[in-house]
Structures are given as C-alpha cells and as structure tokens.
Structure 1
Amino acid sequence: MALLPPDPVYTIRNVDNSPVYCLAFSFLPGGLERLLAGSKNGYVYAYNLQTNRVQQKIKVGQAPILHLIHTNSQLITQEKGGIYKIFTLTNSGYKEQHTIDNDYPGFCRFDANTKLETLFVPDRESKIHIYNFSGEKINSLVPENDSPKLGDPMCLKYIEFPNDRPLLLVGYEAGWLLLWDLNTSQCISKLQTKECPMSVDFHLEQQRGMIGNASDVIQIFSIGRKDLSLAHKLDVNIKNPGINKVCTRNDGRVFASGGWDGHIRIFSWFSLRQLVVLTEHRQAVQDVVYSTQKVSFWNANIMAAGGLDGAITLWDLYNNNKK
C-alpha cells in the first residue's frame, strides 16, 4: 500500500489571499526568524516563524514582487517591469536606499553574491548587468557576436566554485544554458537544452544541477570539475508539464520542483527518483525555498512554498538529524 503524502507543518494564508510570487527566509541577530513573501499586490509580508503571523507589511511598489533576497542588513526586491529596490534594515523597519530601473519586461529572477554585495540583473538582448548594493553598475555579461542566438535571459544561478572561482549559470529563451566566469566576464561553456529553461539550480558537492521548463521533463546536468564543461546527464519525467521553480536543499539529499499544476515534487539526489508529490496547493506553485538553518519552532530545516492560491505551506521533509 502506497504511503500517503505528509501534511504541511503549517499553512499560512497570505494577507487578502494575495498570490505569492516569491519567498525568502530571514534569520536575524537576536533570534528573529521570519519568512518574507513577495506578493502580487506589490507588498512584501514578513511572517514571524514563532507565531506564523504577519509581523511587518512592506510596501514596495504597484507591480508584483517577482523575487527578493534578505541579507543580515538588507532587503532587495525585484518588481515586474525591471525595478529593483535595495532597503536597509533599521530599528524601525526598512528604509529604501537605492533603486535600479532596468525596464526589463521578463520574469527572470535576479541573483546575488551577498559576500561581495553584487547583483546579477537580467536585461534584453541576452545581457546580464552586474550592480553593487549601492545601485551602481559595475560590469555586464554580453555574448560574443559569434554566439548562437540566445534570446532573453530566463533564469540565473550564482555559484562559487573552490579557489575563488565565481560562476554564473544563465538559461536563455532559445534553450541555451551558458556558464560565465565572473572573473573574466567570459562564457566558458554552453549546453543546448530541450526547452526554454524557466528555473535552474546547482548543488556544488553533488556537481549536478537541474533545469525546470514548460515540458514534463526535468533535465539533470553536470559541470566538469577540471574544465568546467556543461554536460547533459539524464532526464527526470514528471506527470504534468510546467515547472516554475527547481530548488536543491543545502545538504544535497533532496531537491524540489514547483509546478503549474500546483504540485510540489520532492526527488532524491541519490537515486533521482521522485519521493513524494505534495498536492496542498490549488493553483500554480511560484516559489519553493529551503531554510539555510533550523527554524527553532520545529527544530528542523523547513521548506516553504508559495503559489497563486495565496497559500504558503511549510514542510518538514526527510530531516533525520534534529539534535
């Protein structure tokens, strides 16, 4: 007899049932643990993970919040239409410090190197711009003239390889995945994928990554340890097509996908087999994130998912070490 899917440890209804486009955990000094939800109505709602209630409402703009990150002292948001805002955390809340207006109509989420305080921002014509946290452009990644036609960027993933080798994976509209060396601003490897990539993630210790797209296949790829070459490894089939987000857990044991069908699928990195399908959401899942440390209320690393149904589900899955 098949095991039934587990229940979430908690389900939050977003304020006014506003659709959730992005999520980020925040662990601040003093033990404040929060989950931030970027919403369709232009607000970021900060939920206290001790009470699971809204602790703060941050008005960012009028457009949906497509992506956000939180550092120890800053909140960075991305609005639909290409507006990025950098807020500084103060004793009374968040103060907007800088704005980047890129006039980019796509849905590609930015990424960041939080150690060096740099942002990787998508733009038209296959370009990626690099800004510092003061909103100043410091570089751009532009494909060579002899590169294949790439189209607009669709997904990004910053990776820090050993020996201070910072890399950026970029998936493009025409189905290409490029690996950029950020020290030289040069593309060092290319991989033609089967579909337009919608989301990409990579686990450094596993030396493998995955690509979600509009099809019923998750593509697994590798990056060579010596030559940093991209290679397609195999395909993982799913029942219903369409993936908005793929996300690996830090420990390299499992990874997740959030689908157009509202399903969250959990896979084993060891076997690449599907472990469970979570069907709590009633509309498309827009984001799936893992906490970088244990949430004290559950004494576990928590997975959070948010969707167009206005629900945020919190999960404790396959965590055996809870000491």
Structure 2
Amino acid sequence: MSRPPPEPLYILRGSGATVNSLHFCCGGDGPPFLYSGSGKGAIHMWNLTTRRAERILESHAGNSVIWLHTFKDSRSRFVSQGRDLRVCVWDLSEDRRTVTDSLLTGSVGFCQCSLLETRPGAALLAHPTENMEEVSVVEVKSWTPVCTLKPDSKLGMLMCMKMWQADSGPVLCAGYEDGSLVLWDVSHRRPFSCLKAHPEPVMCLDIDVCKQKGISGSSEKILQSWTLDNQQNLQMHDSVQMTNPGVSQLRIRVDGKVLATAGWDNNIRVLGWKKLKPLAVLQHHTDMEWLQ
C-alpha cells in the first residue's frame, strides 16, 4: 500500500490575505527566510527558525504582490512586482524599510518578472509591458533598456518567462497565450527557436540549465517537458498526465531531482524530475496554489 501524503512540518499564519507569491532566501549569514506577498500588498519576511514574521512591509499601494526575488549579493535588498503595475527595489539595511527605486511596467497581466544577476552588483530584469505580447529587458540599477522582445507572428499574450545565463549570453524562454514557447537570444534581440508545446495558454515554466531541459504547464491536464539542443532548438520530450486540469506554477528543485507543481485543484504535486514519476500529493490548502 502507498504511504499517505506527509503532513506540514509547521504552518505560518497571519498573512491577513491570500498569499500570491513566495520566495526563499537561504544563503549567506543568518537564518533562512521565506518572503511572502499578499493580495492586499503586504510583504511578510518569515524567519524559518523562529517561524514568525520578523518584518511586515506595506507595498504597492495595497495591490496584490505577484512576484518577489532577493539579490544574491545582499540579503537586505530585494525586488517586488505588484498589480499597481510597478516593480519596486527595497533596501532593508540598517533597519530601513524603504523603496529605493521603482519602475512602471504598464502591464495589466499576471506574468511574473524574471531577474538575472550577471555579476556582483549588476542584474538584468525581464518584465512584461503594456504591450501584452512584449518582454522588456532592462538593467536594474539605471533601468536602462537593453532590448525589447516581441514575436513576429501572433502568439497572443505573454503568460510566463524565465531568464538565465548561457555560454553565449543571457537567454530567455517565454510562454504565450496560444501555447507556444519562444527561446530568445537577449544579446542579439532575436529568437533562437519556437515550439508549440500546448493547445492552451502556457501558464508556467521552469528550466534545468545543467540538463538543458525544461517543463511547462497550462490549463489542460498535461505537463510537457522539452529539451534544448546545441543550436538552442526547443524540442518536445516527455509528458505526464495530471489527475485534474490546470497548473498555475511549477518549480524544479535546485538539485535537479524533484519537481513541484501548484494545481488549480488546490493540491501540490511532487514528481521525480528525471522520469516525471509521481511521488506525493500535498492536500493541505483550500485555494489555488502558487509556488516560487
């Protein structure tokens, strides 16, 4: 007989509203933290040792926080994206709680930004724009535009994206409303390849850079994995049938062994990343899940 799903080790309470974004900060000195962003604009910094919120920041004029990310070079700096159409950079050093800079994206969609730290103190931010098909890449410190990426063909709204550093330079994979994935060469502002991965909009994606293999989910019941060859061509790989339709988010664990999906059925599913073998279904939540 299969074992029952594990129970939560502990539960963090007190967010005050629906939690729409999460980000772990576990490197460097000090205890591990979990950052959470709520539907009412509150950002909680949860100390995972004491299991309490050490700081609560009111942000984005009370609008939902849909994305959070800390900088590797400093635990006191992080960036947030809200439904007020802004991206904010925060400085928490010396007990500050201030937004040091912000960028108006103009995007009314739900596509999360992607941050790539190219070297210590320097980072690129890919963000959606008011043009629903477009990705803009900017330097974080100066907000200097690097490039704008827009497909030549009609693929519909930008839904999700992930940027990483390849040998040839920054690369970005974007998922679109018609179910297509486009792999972009950021340095040369052109697409490497395009793949029609789903019949429905691509809701989420992640990539294992070491294995040159990624995975995406949509409103259907299929998780689709895909690979990159030496010429950066996207190619279909394995797929797995889900019990219920709809995946809002997925993440590959940093060691490349486990994949977690957040389903529209309120369940978190854990699969082995190598063969997409189901490992566990976590059924504690009562509303749609978001992973980060």
Q: Same fold (TM over 0.5)?
A: yes
Q: Give TM-score scaled by structure 2 length.
A: 0.92
1:171 maps to 2:178: no
In structure 2, what is the equivalent of residue 45 of structure 1? 44
- What corresponds to 1:191 in structure 2? 195
Match of 2:216 in 1: 211
Q: Deviations over 1:3-34 (max 9, x none)?
A: 11111221112322x11101111236431321
Q: Residue 15 of structure 1 aligns to a residue in which SS? A: coil
- Equivalent-residue separation in structure 1 for 2:32 and 2:116 (angstroms): 22
Cα distance, 1:277 vs. partner?
0.8
Matched with 2:146 is 139
Partner-residue secondary structure (3-state), 2:5: coil
Instruction: List alignment gaps of at least 5 residues for structure 2.
Output: none
Check whether the contact 1:99–1:135 (CA below 8 A) recurs between aligned residues.
no
Q: What is the Cα deviation at residue 111 of structure 1?
A: 0.2
1:118 match: 124
Cα distance change on mapping 1:29 and 1:49 into 2, 3 Å: same
- In the alignment, structure 1 residue 15 sits paired with structure 2 residue 15: yes
Residue 266 of structure 1 pairs with residue 270 of structure 2 = yes
Matched, 1:158 2:163: yes
The range that moved more, 72-81 or 214-223, is 72-81
Quote the residue 1:3 is aligned against. 3
CA contact (8 A) 1:44 1:57 kept: yes
Inter-CA distance 22–135: structure 2 relative to 1 (3 Å threshold): farther
Does the 8 A contact of 1:248 with 1:254 survive in 2? Answer: yes
Distance 2:163 2:289 in 1: 23
Gaps of 5+ in 1: 290-323
Mean CA deviation greater in 3-12 or 250-259: 3-12
Name the residue aligned to 1:222.
227
The alpha-carbon deviation at position 108 of structure 1 amounts to: 0.2
Deviation at 1:270, TM superposition (A): 2.1
| Secondary structure, aligned partner of 2:173 | strand
Name the counterpart of 2:258: 254
2:92 corresponds in structure 1 to 89
* Structure 1 residue 38 displacement after superposition: 0.6
CA contact (8 A) 1:143 1:187 kept: no
Normalised to the residue count of structure 1, the TM-score between the two structures is: 0.84
Deviations 1:245-300 (A, max 9, x none): 0100111111110011111111112221111111111111022x4xxxxxxxxxxx
| Contact 1:157–1:169 under 8 Å retained in 2 | yes
Q: Which has the higher contact order (CA 8 A, sep 6+)?
A: 1
Q: Is the 8 A contact 1:47 1:54 kept in 2?
A: yes
Distance 1:69 1:7, change over 3 A: same
**1:172: Cα distance to partner?**
1.1
The aligned amino acid for 1:68 is: L
Shift in alpha-carbon separation, 1:68–1:135, aligned structure 2, 3 A: farther
8 Å CA contact 1:14–1:20 kept in 2: the answer is no
Deviates more, 1:37-46 or 1:86-95: 86-95
Q: Does the residue aligned with 1:91 lie in a helix, a strand or coil? A: helix
Q: How many residues align?
A: 283
Aligned residue in 2 for 1:59: 58
Cα distance, 1:237 vs structure 2: 0.7
Measure, in 2, the Cα distance between the counterparts of 1:152 and 1:139.
21
Query: Which residue of the partner structure matches residue 282 of structure 1?
Result: 286
Amino acid in the other structure paired with 2:54: Q
Larger deviation, residues 239-248 vs 200-209: 200-209
Partner AA of 2:103 in structure 1:
I
What is the alpha-carbon distance in structure 2 between the residues aligned to residue 14 and residue 231 of structure 1?
44
- Superposed displacement of residue 206, structure 1: 2.5
- Change in 2 beyond 3 A, CA 1:199/1:14: farther
Q: Compute the RMSD of aligned alpha carbons.
A: 1.5
Q: 1:297: which partner in 2?
A: none
SS in 1 for 2:266: coil
Structure 1 contact 129–137 (Cα < 8 Å) conserved: no
1:200 touches 1:246 (CA, 8 Å); kept in 2? yes
Shift of 1:76: 0.5
Q: Which residue of 1 aligns with 2:30?
A: 31
